[in-house]
Amino acid sequence: MLKVEISKLKQYPMFSINEKYYKTRYCNKYYKLFMKDLLSNQIFNKDDIYNRIFIFENGKLQSTSFQIE
């Protein structure tokens, strides 16, 4: 598990889904489109897309986690 203090997260950019951008109000659809954009050109495990936290370094995916502990 990834262990991070909330205060440390303030130094990193945070992204959230904007359903208006994807022109749909259906959660499953805009989630898939967002993940496709977020992880384009990245190497990741199939199960990574179900995580909530994605750590990138210099634009490359380093790790993922479902929750902050």
Tokens describing residue 39: 């992880």
Angle at 56 between CA 51 and CA 58, to 5 degrees: 165
pLDDT tens figures, 20-68:
999 998 988 998 899 888 888 888 888 887 787 888 888 888 888 876 5
- Answer yes or no: pTM beyond 0.75: no
CA-to-CA distance for 62 and 43, rounded, in angstroms? 10
